[in-house]
Structure 1
Amino acid sequence: MIEAPETILVRTHRIACDGSGEGVPAALGHPRVWLEIDESGLVECGYCDRRFVLVGGPADNGSTNKG
Structure 2
Amino acid sequence: MLPPPETIRVKTVRVACDGGGEIEPALGHPRVYLHIDDNGYVDCGYCDRRFVLEGGPADSDAAGAAH
Per the normalisation by structure 1, the TM-score is 0.88
Higher Cα Rg, which structure: 2
**Aligned equivalents of 2:24, 2:10: Cα separation in 1:** 20
- Kindly, what percent of the aligned residue pairs are identical? 67
Q: In structure 1, what residue type is equivalent to 2:57?
A: P
Q: Which has the higher contact order (CA 8 A, sep 6+)?
A: 1
Query: Over aligned residue pairs, what C-alpha RMSD do you find?
Result: 1.3
Stretches (4+) displaced over 6 A: none
Aligned pair count?
A: 62
Q: Using the TM superposition, give the Cα deviation of residue 25 of structure 1 relative to its aligned residue in structure 2, in angstroms.
A: 1.3
Q: TM-score, normalised by structure 2?
A: 0.88
Structure 1 or 2: larger helix share? 2
Shift of 1:2: 1.5
